Chains A and B, each alone.
Chain A
Amino acid sequence: MPGLVCGAVLGFGLRAGAQVQVMTSSMGGEQQLPASAYGTGTVSGHVVCGDTQRLARFATVSLVPKPAPAKANPQSSAAPTPQSRRQNRQQDSEEISLQMVQGKTGLDGSFEIQKLPAGDYYAVASMPGYVLSLVDSGGPPDPEHVDIDKVLANYPLLHVDANHSSSVELTMQRGAVIAGRVMFDDGSPAANVNVSVKPADGKDSMWQIYGAGLQMLTEESLTHPPRTDDDGHYRIAGLQPGKYIVSATLQVQPTMRMAGGARGSTGRPDHNDNSSPLIVYAPGVFRKSEAKPVEVHAGEVNSMTDVQMNLSGLHHVSGRVLAASDRHPLSGASLSLSMGRDFVKYALTDNDGSFYLDYVPEGSYTLNVHGFDREPNSKPEEEPKILRVYVSPKTPLIIAGQDVLLGEILLTAGKMSDTGMMDDIDVPQ
């Protein structure tokens, strides 16, 4: 039998990060049995590899519904509650609820996706090594309002009728490849390091721009986090032509502990438990602005993009954070070291208020410190209630030639509203 596929219905709103919204209920009809949530249309066809003209085996076929044209917002005179807002969003066709159906091709490159609700769908075929040809919808990245019609303009639009079968032939284009090796300055390979490529024009990854929804079009990102092998080699395929910045992310000090049995748990985080990873940009710099972009043309293989991790010129910054009023140590205070939006490093203080920011390149930074007094007897499984907030003015800090011992940093109590500040920091991914 040709590619057996029973497309299950994926439903989720296109929102930021992993806020996957479940929205199958909007698929109309009675909802007593799951069967009724499915339609009766069918889409079948073949997927071809554009470079070899061969039929593609086990390629993923995604059908993304064309959003309905926008309607005027229904009457909502009352102040919007979260609930009514959600309902409104559900009624409002501008709501970006992406119902995606996915199936796989079989051995002969054919696929058949059944039980589709009637409507118009964009058909997207994807496979590792082939390009996912999304069009930048322009404007600021906003996962809440994605113009599906624009983003998927490169893909065919199919009309599916109830009880009818439509067919489509899809061709995938081979993507460009960036590959190379990540090495330490002593010549040894940096193994098991995450490597990422991002467009050099500053546009962030597809994940950030389009949210979780379109990320699902390619399973590669989930199943294949590009990492260097034991010899430091990496390979990232399926890229659109363009200029890219390549970065390698070293998890510097994650400490993990499990304390079981009767031995008692300490559960206390080490000072480095929460320190940020070290990001090095090709060919071997710590600042994104100094990175050398790599340009690839359609289908080109660039296998010479090495990243050098020069760790010898790095320093650490340490000190202790205390409350100015009575000099009690502020544990769990957050520190960030930033250079514009270019380099951000953060850490939390230990139980005695001490901190240790390691692997900091030389340069002029701004140091930001926020401390908290937390309710002492809150249950360990709950986020402790914050009683008092401490802030420091932004302090310039120049690191050159040696490690920096800051000694004691005294913080004065500030406004409670300052707690959310960590959200504002742009953490490089």
Chain B
Amino acid sequence: MTLMFRNKRSTIYARLIAIERESMDTVRMSPIQFVCLSVVLGAVATGAAAQQPASAMGTGMVTGHVTCGDTQRPARFASVVLFGVPAQVTATAKPNPDASEEEQLKAMTDALQSIGNTNMVQAKTGTDGAYMATDVPLGDYYVFAAAAGYVSPLNQVQALIAGGSDVNKPLPGVQVVHVTADHTVMADVTMERGAAVSGTISWDDGSPVTGAIMSVVPEKSDTTPPRQFSMLAIASVMSGLSISDDLGHFRISGLAPGNYIVSARIQAGGQTGLGAAMNWSKAMANTPLVVYAPAAFHKADAKPVTLHASEDLRDQLMTLKLGGLHSVSGAVSSAADHHGINSATVRLQDTVDKDFSRSAPVDAAGNFTVTFVPPGTYSMKVSNAEDTEPKPKTDKDKPNLFGPGTKTIRSYVDGKLSVIVTDSDLTGQNVSLAVDNNPKKEPDFGKLLGGIDDDEKPAPKQ
């Protein structure tokens, strides 16, 4: 298998990265959860290669047909998702960016655990809409079907939860099959055509914004599904977002009826890349700019669109006006000898709109510039400050998509500053930090991600 896919590896990486980005958007995960998903995706990608004996407990089979609800035609090449009914569902806590490292680590472990408990089989229909899922481990499964343009499984669950369904009881309207050993269960599914919203995103001078990641979020964002359902995102990636093309056009389809806010993410400045270009902590620190339709930086100022069942809402116009925004710059240094600290994240958190923040990494001399900051009052936090140096190269080092390693020489405590942005760029927002003598051990994202960068390595244990 490894032999077989060697020349396709690059494509697989590109796809994985794309899937990760999309999933991240769809589920609105915190960076830490994002890393979890990456790791799991890695495990799935490599794990599938290993041939293991069938479970001693036996398996069953599920077959059926998928039909497009709008045309009543068989759905060609739709994905059927058999999703193990979770034994227990816990309410989702909103990702808290201010949580302590222990809390974030615990959230990460919990998320990994619930993902590890996910039982899921995905199969595809043929030209006649028929599917057959074999070797299905025993148990109860929700049967979902997914195809571009149809309401995605994740959206279905989200809509049910938003409608007040008790997630600890079987979800109403979603078929459940009971798979027993050496039996075949029939389950036919009809997919509901989703609503779509499409339009154009342009600059205030009328020229198109290209490459913006467009997505929609429900107006009430407390409908994030419990994490036990988070792996459904994999089956939902195809429709939840769109990247604006060379004319600024976008189209997002497969939405359940409801009120949505259209948003655009633009990577304004900063760095994208692989290999040595990829500095994981710096890449994570350089957050994209998020703009809400028709032209707002704060979600509260956005104008939601109402989508009815299978409505095709076209010609939505979105304008990006970045003219009134400012930059905040300064330096992060050691309180002891005033040298610039070469690794840290600076984050401006709006004190009124908790969802709005802008962040940037420091450069090698400790200087930072946070760009595109709207007027407002911010709490500026400097975190993960460390003096680092490149890890010495060894012969064992393999080319790594996620960049060369760094070694931490010393860590610093977090710093805070209050910042008010009015009508001009702010400079000189300097912060000196004391050495942290008891730094907490951080999860090594690079190492976690390293697991998916090399086919030669053994698959992570499941």
Indicate if A300 sits at the interface (CB-CB under 8 A).
no
Give, as a whole number of angstroms, the nearest-CB distance from A129 to chain B. 3
The docked-state distance in angstroms from the alpha carbon of A6 to that of B363 is 8
On whether the beta carbons of B399 and A230 are closer than 8 Å, the reply is: no
Q: Give B21-39 interface residues, CB cut-off 8 Å to A.
A: 21
Interface pick from B127-135, B159-167, B345-353, B375-383: B127-135
Once A128-B246, A222-B14, A266-B52 are accepted as A-B contacts, the answer to whether A22 and B399 lie under 8 Å apart by CB is yes
Indicate if B173 sits at the interface (CB-CB under 8 A).
no
Q: Give A1-15 interface residues, CB cut-off 8 Å to B.
A: 1, 3-12
The docked-state distance in angstroms from the alpha carbon of A256 to that of B124 is 10
On whether the beta carbons of A255 and B77 are closer than 8 Å, the reply is: no
On whether the beta carbons of B11 and A429 are closer than 8 Å, the reply is: yes
> Closest B-chain residue to A225, C-beta based?
B18
Indicate if B300 sits at the interface (CB-CB under 8 A).
no
On whether the beta carbons of A102 and B399 are closer than 8 Å, the reply is: no
Could you give, for residues 379-411 of chain A, a 1 whenever the CB lies within 8 Å of some chain B CB and a 0 otherwise? 111111000000000000000000000000000
The docked-state distance in angstroms from the alpha carbon of A383 to that of B391 is 30
Could you give, for residues 50-70 of chain A, a 1 whenever the CB lies within 8 Å of some chain B CB and a 0 otherwise? 001010011000000000000
Partner of A34, one of B8, B203, B239, B342: B342
The docked-state distance in angstroms from the alpha carbon of A423 to that of B117 is 36
Indicate if A32 sits at the interface (CB-CB under 8 A).
yes
Indicate if B439 sits at the interface (CB-CB under 8 A).
no
Interface pick from A23-31, A159-167, A361-369: A23-31
Give, as a whole number of angstroms, the nearest-CB distance from B40 to chain A. 8
* Interface residue tally on A, bucketed by range: 35 or more
Partner of B282, one of A5, A8, A115, A127: A8
On whether the beta carbons of A10 and B276 are closer than 8 Å, the reply is: yes
Interface centre among A6, A269, A273 (most CB of B within 10 A): A6
Give, as a whole number of angstroms, the nearest-CB distance from A18 to chain B. 4
The docked-state distance in angstroms from the alpha carbon of A221 to that of B243 is 12
Partner of B246, one of A6, A237, A423: A237
Partner of A268, one of B15, B52, B117, B369: B52
Indicate if A17 sits at the interface (CB-CB under 8 A).
yes
- Residues in A with CB closer than 8 Å to B139 are 263
Indicate if B389 sits at the interface (CB-CB under 8 A).
yes
On whether the beta carbons of B3 and A420 are closer than 8 Å, the reply is: yes
Could you give, for residues 208-239 of chain B, a 1 whenever the CB lies within 8 Å of some chain A CB and a 0 otherwise? 11110100000000000000000100100011
The docked-state distance in angstroms from the alpha carbon of A334 to that of B358 is 51
Partner of A1, one of B1, B13, B327: B327
On whether the beta carbons of B251 and A229 are closer than 8 Å, the reply is: yes
B residues with CB within 8 A of A: 1-4, 6-11, 13-15, 17-18, 21, 44, 47-48, 50-57, 59, 68, 71, 73, 76-77, 84, 87, 115-124, 126-127, 133-135, 137-139, 147-150, 196, 203, 205, 207-211, 213, 231, 234, 238-239, 242-243, 245-247, 249, 251, 253-254, 266-277, 279, 282, 322-323, 327, 329, 342, 363-365, 369, 371, 388-390, 393, 395, 397, 399-401, 403-404, 406, 425, 458-462
Indicate if A342 sits at the interface (CB-CB under 8 A).
no
> Closest A-chain residue to B244, C-beta based?
A128
On whether the beta carbons of A257 and B120 are closer than 8 Å, the reply is: yes
Give chain A's interface secondary structure class. Answer: loop
- Residues in A with CB closer than 8 Å to B389 are 32-34
> Closest A-chain residue to B21, C-beta based?
A223
Give, as a whole number of angstroms, the nearest-CB distance from B385 to chain A. 15
The docked-state distance in angstroms from the alpha carbon of A228 to that of B239 is 11
- Residues in A with CB closer than 8 Å to B87 are 261
The docked-state distance in angstroms from the alpha carbon of A33 to that of B406 is 10
On whether the beta carbons of A382 and B269 are closer than 8 Å, the reply is: no
> Closest A-chain residue to B52, C-beta based?
A267
- Residues in A with CB closer than 8 Å to B77 are 190, 250-252
Q: Given A18-B274, A261-B87, A429-B11, output 19 extra A-B contacts at Cβ < 8 Å.
A: A8-B279, A8-B282, A33-B364, A52-B207, A57-B209, A102-B277, A106-B269, A129-B245, A192-B147, A225-B18, A229-B149, A229-B253, A251-B77, A260-B117, A273-B48, A346-B4, A381-B459, A381-B460, A423-B6
30 A-B pairs with C-beta separation under 8 A: A1-B425, A4-B269, A4-B369, A8-B279, A24-B276, A58-B268, A104-B269, A127-B210, A129-B210, A219-B272, A222-B17, A224-B245, A227-B238, A230-B196, A252-B77, A252-B124, A253-B124, A256-B48, A256-B121, A257-B48, A259-B55, A259-B119, A264-B57, A266-B59, A268-B52, A269-B51, A270-B134, A331-B51, A346-B4, A380-B50
Give, as a whole number of angstroms, the nearest-CB distance from A403 to chain B. 13
On whether the beta carbons of A255 and B121 are closer than 8 Å, the reply is: yes
- Residues in A with CB closer than 8 Å to B15 are 225
- Residues in B with CB closer than 8 Å to A382 are 458
On whether the beta carbons of B399 and A20 are closer than 8 Å, the reply is: yes
- Residues in A with CB closer than 8 Å to B50 are 267, 380-381
Once A192-B148, A212-B274 are accepted as A-B contacts, the answer to whether A33 and B342 lie under 8 Å apart by CB is yes
Indicate if A73 sits at the interface (CB-CB under 8 A).
no
The docked-state distance in angstroms from the alpha carbon of A199 to that of B389 is 45
- Residues in B with CB closer than 8 Å to A281 are none
On whether the beta carbons of A258 and B44 are closer than 8 Å, the reply is: yes
- Residues in A with CB closer than 8 Å to B9 are 17-18
On whether the beta carbons of A220 and B399 are closer than 8 Å, the reply is: no
> Closest A-chain residue to B68, C-beta based?
A188
- Residues in B with CB closer than 8 Å to A351 are 51, 54
On whether the beta carbons of A261 and B273 are closer than 8 Å, the reply is: no
- Residues in A with CB closer than 8 Å to B196 are 230
- Residues in B with CB closer than 8 Å to A325 are none
On whether the beta carbons of B116 and A260 are closer than 8 Å, the reply is: yes
- Residues in B with CB closer than 8 Å to A221 are 14
On whether the beta carbons of B57 and A263 are closer than 8 Å, the reply is: yes
Give, as a whole number of angstroms, the nearest-CB distance from A257 to chain B. 5
> Closest A-chain residue to B274, C-beta based?
A20
Interface centre among A18, A102, A227, A228 (most CB of B within 10 A): A18
The docked-state distance in angstroms from the alpha carbon of A380 to that of B149 is 39
- Residues in A with CB closer than 8 Å to B342 are 33-35
On whether the beta carbons of B51 and A268 are closer than 8 Å, the reply is: yes
Give, as a whole number of angstroms, the nearest-CB distance from B180 to chain A. 13
On whether the beta carbons of B276 and A9 are closer than 8 Å, the reply is: yes
Indicate if A231 sits at the interface (CB-CB under 8 A).
yes
On whether the beta carbons of B243 and A207 are closer than 8 Å, the reply is: no
- Residues in A with CB closer than 8 Å to B268 are 58, 104
On whether the beta carbons of A34 and B1 are closer than 8 Å, the reply is: no
On whether the beta carbons of A18 and B148 are closer than 8 Å, the reply is: no
Once A33-B364, A35-B364 are accepted as A-B contacts, the answer to whether A255 and B124 lie under 8 Å apart by CB is yes
The docked-state distance in angstroms from the alpha carbon of A354 to that of B162 is 47
On whether the beta carbons of A128 and B245 are closer than 8 Å, the reply is: yes
Give, as a whole number of angstroms, the nearest-CB distance from B56 to chain A. 7
> Closest B-chain residue to A111, C-beta based?
B269
> Closest A-chain residue to B211, C-beta based?
A128
- Residues in B with CB closer than 8 Å to A257 are 48, 120-122, 135
Once A17-B10, A25-B393, A269-B48 are accepted as A-B contacts, the answer to whether A11 and B147 lie under 8 Å apart by CB is no
Indicate if A21 sits at the interface (CB-CB under 8 A).
yes
Partner of A238, one of B238, B246, B322: B246
The docked-state distance in angstroms from the alpha carbon of A4 to that of B246 is 24
On whether the beta carbons of B3 and A423 are closer than 8 Å, the reply is: yes
On whether the beta carbons of A380 and B52 are closer than 8 Å, the reply is: yes
Indicate if A158 sits at the interface (CB-CB under 8 A).
no
Q: Shortest 3 CB-CB distances between A and B: which pairs?
A: A129-B246, A230-B149, A191-B148
> Closest A-chain residue to B113, C-beta based?
A260
Could you give, for residues 417-429 of chain A, a 1 whenever the CB lies within 8 Å of some chain B CB and a 0 otherwise? 0011011000101
Interface centre among B4, B122, B461 (most CB of A within 10 A): B4
- Residues in A with CB closer than 8 Å to B245 are 128-129, 224, 235, 237
